[in-house]
Structure 1
């Protein structure tokens, strides 16, 4: 069944929605802004940290980094277009929009959809080329290469149909100017083809997401794997599981409303939830690809900050309390503090006398001193009574939860 612009409007008029219908949560501008912008900022932070580690610390940039940068730029452009689409009626009923809004929204959606479909392939290729850094030979190396070929072909096929749904492509959003244009697939010439294309791409995207995030699970079989590595890898795979869950949720939303055509055709009313999930899926996938690069450096920095060892210092003085004299009790005697202070009212003669008494020891007495004798002859009888400073370092096992 072929569809023209007039046929589309006529189909909408047959099932005209309530113009005063309350906006669902996903259709509200605050929800769309709140769900996309914070995650976009977090994703940029992860990408910046990734490049800081690869360029400034490791000095080993690769194709996976270039693909992540391309994915991030495409994702930013798509998110900006989604937010601009709010001005053109995203979240409201398409039938009650002005003609300029209808044209503007279809144009925005054309670029959003093409960018998203392209990006789903780019970010997967980035993860696979990142795996090739780990699996440099063997079966897993060839598995990753095979997935690179398959996903490249998948991304090219669907990407071509998304960027060229009509010939010329401008006919997608300016159908009245190009009445003789040839459209197919995403060009909404046939409703069943349009629905089938969206559902098939989303289903394959979910399958590839699951395959890519399961592939590195073989690393868990590595012998002598430390608990620290297990926890770090588990955290990354949890984020990957969230990406897969987002893909499943998006597939459910598209199947549920049959690509915004059920129970009636309304492109701006049924699509917000699918569009939000598309943005979040790419954001999480980019963060999952970047975390293994920068997280070990962040973890090491935290480990240098937090104290993980306890040090106990025990002090034993050379002289006993009886014979060390007032000159060695400065830190314990308030009387001597007052006498040694420059602000004291007493004269300095008392201090000089004490100093002479201490420093004027006979040289012979010095070498008979138990402390000196014990130091010179550590195996002598006096060494048993040697008084010194002992430092005990008691290292306790680092808690698993400490970074």
Structure 2
């Protein structure tokens, strides 16, 4: 920021000092470090798990990795960096009124610089991942053409805003060092002027929300495909539901910044209202990563889950062995137990019809009937688990 920018900010600082906010008033809940942790961390963990399952499916099970996997991996790394530095910024003073942290402002702005730049690049990477994923689905036709056009727009948009976020000043240290001599050359995100910085933030938030909606609308055409099964409709509905949450978070992020626009001096108290904007930013990215990964790993999860269920009902008869004549079996006592009445389990993947089990010093077990069943079957005998 140059000297002219400092001259613009000084009257604002002086005006804040004339009518300072009450130092003893409670700050909003969202500005607390504990709130930031509680709101963002669970969804951050879910997004990391989702990407881990996605990469495992693509690399190990399907063995068909693509560029969409590369960009989602970059996105999750940048998301980790962005959310970590956001929390560091809250610790350093973001969330407090500007005039009360002037001494700590340079350190707080270092954290904010990385958080803002990482968030900006993450939004680009996750959109690219989704679009490249669409291109694997749409091999031809008008949907592929539309997807390619959107890809070109996102590349240009993302490259421009990412550059401005990572290089808001020349040198970059001018972003947080406002007393640098000679003064740094800043623009856009670099707070050369208060109006320019505000307009840049709103321009990015608005265009980001618009592109989120556009990327979300592209696969909606799948709803109009003929002969869709009920499970497919439900799966797509769940996926689009997560996509709607992404758009909602983008809208709330834009709203949380706009609501302070034209509200006098508080508009320039950006360290005070930034946490709300950044929380919505974190949630937007987390849900976007989950949304991009679910179609890849969810079918494998469902298939693996179904494998632990046996869809047969097993009736077991117990026949005691005659110790004097090991070749004959005497029906000294016969009991029957249906597997759906058992609370323990025998897990099998194939039919056990006609199979017998014999364990020394234990009764002979013979499967004599198999019927369809839709619940888990597991059985143990005398503390010894019996498996096929």
Task: Return closer, same or farther for 1:331/1:22 CA change in 2, 3 Å cut-off.
Answer: same
- Name the residue aligned to 2:67: 63
Contact 1:260–1:267 under 8 Å retained in 2: no
Give, in whole Å, the separation in 2 of the partners of 1:121 and 1:180.
31
User: 2:266 is paired with a residue of what secondary structure?
Assistant: coil
Contact 1:50–1:291 under 8 Å retained in 2: yes
Tell me whether 1:248 sits opposite 2:251 in the alignment: yes
Q: How many angstroms does 1:310 deviate by?
A: 4.9
Give, in whole Å, the separation in 1 of the partners of 2:39 and 2:331.
68
Give, in whole Å, the separation in 1 of the partners of 2:253 and 2:151.
24
Q: CA RMSD in A?
A: 2.7
User: 1:16 is paired with a residue of what secondary structure?
Assistant: coil
Contact 1:260–1:266 under 8 Å retained in 2: no
Tell me whether 1:304 sits opposite 2:310 in the alignment: no
- Name the residue aligned to 2:210: 207
Contact 1:132–1:144 under 8 Å retained in 2: yes
> Cα deviations across residues 229-279 of structure 1 (Å, max 9, x unaligned)?
111111111111000000011111010013997534222211111011111
Give, in whole Å, the separation in 1 of the partners of 2:112 and 2:91.
13
- Name the residue aligned to 1:82: 86
Give, in whole Å, the separation in 2 of the partners of 1:133 and 1:313.
48
- Name the residue aligned to 1:330: 332
Tell me whether 1:115 sits opposite 2:98 in the alignment: no
2:183 to 180, 184, 191: 180
Tell me whether 1:43 sits opposite 2:47 in the alignment: yes
- Name the residue aligned to 2:171: 168
Q: Number of residue pairs matched?
A: 331
Give, in whole Å, the separation in 1 of the partners of 2:165 and 2:234.
40
- Name the residue aligned to 1:125: 128
Q: How many angstroms does 1:135 deviate by?
A: 0.4
Give, in whole Å, the separation in 1 of the partners of 2:293 and 2:329.
64
Give, in whole Å, the separation in 2 of the partners of 1:137 and 1:168.
46
Q: How many angstroms does 1:97 deviate by?
A: 1.6
Task: Return closer, same or farther for 1:170/1:390 CA change in 2, 3 Å cut-off.
Answer: closer
Task: Return closer, same or farther for 1:38/1:259 CA change in 2, 3 Å cut-off.
Answer: farther
Contact 1:165–1:184 under 8 Å retained in 2: yes
Give, in whole Å, the separation in 2 of the partners of 1:23 and 1:170.
30
Tell me which moved more, 214-223 or 255-264.
Answer: 255-264
Contact 1:261–1:267 under 8 Å retained in 2: no
- Name the residue aligned to 1:352: none
Unaligned runs of 5+ in 2: 318-327, 336-366, 375-388
User: 1:127 is paired with a residue of what secondary structure?
Assistant: helix
Unaligned runs of 5+ in 1: 316-325, 334-388, 397-403
Matches within 5 A, 1:356-395: 391=369, 393-394=371-372
Give, in whole Å, the separation in 2 of the partners of 1:395 and 1:77.
49
Task: Return closer, same or farther for 1:185/1:261 CA change in 2, 3 Å cut-off.
Answer: farther
Contact 1:90–1:272 under 8 Å retained in 2: yes
User: 2:313 is paired with a residue of what secondary structure?
Assistant: strand
User: 2:249 is paired with a residue of what secondary structure?
Assistant: helix
Give, in whole Å, the separation in 2 of the partners of 1:314 and 1:50.
41
- Name the residue aligned to 2:377: none
Give, in whole Å, the separation in 1 of the partners of 2:302 and 2:80.
28
> Cα deviations across residues 272-326 of structure 1 (Å, max 9, x unaligned)?
110111111111101110111110000111122234x4537699xxxxxxxxxx9
> Cα deviations across residues 171-228 of structure 1 (Å, max 9, x unaligned)?
1111212343222222222222222111111111111111111211111122222111
User: 2:5 is paired with a residue of what secondary structure?
Assistant: coil
Tell me whether 1:145 sits opposite 2:148 in the alignment: yes
TM-score by length of 1: 0.76
Task: Return closer, same or farther for 1:177/1:263 CA change in 2, 3 Å cut-off.
Answer: closer
Give, in whole Å, the separation in 1 of the partners of 2:368 and 2:78.
63
Contact 1:75–1:116 under 8 Å retained in 2: yes
Tell me which moved more, 77-86 or 89-98.
Answer: 89-98
Q: How many angstroms does 1:12 deviate by?
A: 3.0
> Cα deviations across residues 349-376 of structure 1 (Å, max 9, x unaligned)?
xxxxxxxxxxxxxxxxxxxxxxxxxxxx
